[in-house]
Amino acid sequence: MTHLVCGVDEAGRGPLAGPVYAAAVILDPARPIEGLADSKKLSERKRERLAVEIREKALAFGIASASVEEIDSINILQATLLAMRRAVEALAVQPAAALIDGNRCPSLAIPARAIIGGDATEPAISAASILAKTARDAEMRCIHEAFPQYALDRHKGYDTVAHRAALELHGPAAFHRKSFAPVRALLDVRRKPGS
């Protein structure tokens, strides 16, 4: 096969909770997938349907994450790049190059090019965006089963009014990003004597 290229994207840079996910996808030109787009522009139902089709039709895909502990230790940008590298390394087929959504490339063993807005213009990046988002959402639903008081099944850990209210009421849990300002501020308040 000549000059296979993978698309790479992440999901979950902004939330206050949960890991950051990334996916890498090598599409099969002989098996096109209709409807690929930036995952944020798709309904949840359409994302889930496309994720199944991508897994079935892609030449290869890799999905990886960086943990909350890694995010807090090395910062969200470095954790995102780490998850992207892990996703590319998880591919069963070695691509000749990688197209990365955004303006920064992870350190890879293959040439990589960053494309701002690539999840809307490059089908392989769109596919990676969909796999990363659906995999992260699935993990957040699993965490919700154990900690329903945070309603992670609804907001997936993002900084919503409901999430802030749950944080205020129940305090941060182990899956919250302690390096993120709203969580850190709550932890600081709870550490103060008399609070």
- What's the pLDDT at 1? 47
Calculate mean pLDDT across residues 110-118.
97
- What's the pLDDT at 3? 83
Reported as a pLDDT band with limits 50, 70 and 90, residue 195 is very low
Give per-residue pLDDT as tens, 172-187: 999 999 999 999 998 8
**All domains in the chain, ordered by first residue:** 5-145 (3.30.420.10)
Indicate if the pLDDT at residue 190 is higher than 70: no
- What's the pLDDT at 193? 59
Binding-site residues for a divalent metal cation, please? 9-10, 101
Cα separation values, 127 from 28, 105, 115, 167, 184, Å: 12, 18, 15, 33, 34
- What's the pLDDT at 187? 85
For 24, residues 6+ apart whose C-beta sits below 8 A from its C-beta are 6, 7, 8, 61, 62, 84, 87, 88, 90, 91, 95, 98, 128
- What's the pLDDT at 54? 98
Indicate if the pLDDT at residue 189 is higher than 80: no
Give per-residue pLDDT as tens, 71-85: 999 999 999 999 999
Binding-site residues, please? 9-10, 101
The pTM is what?
Answer: 0.94
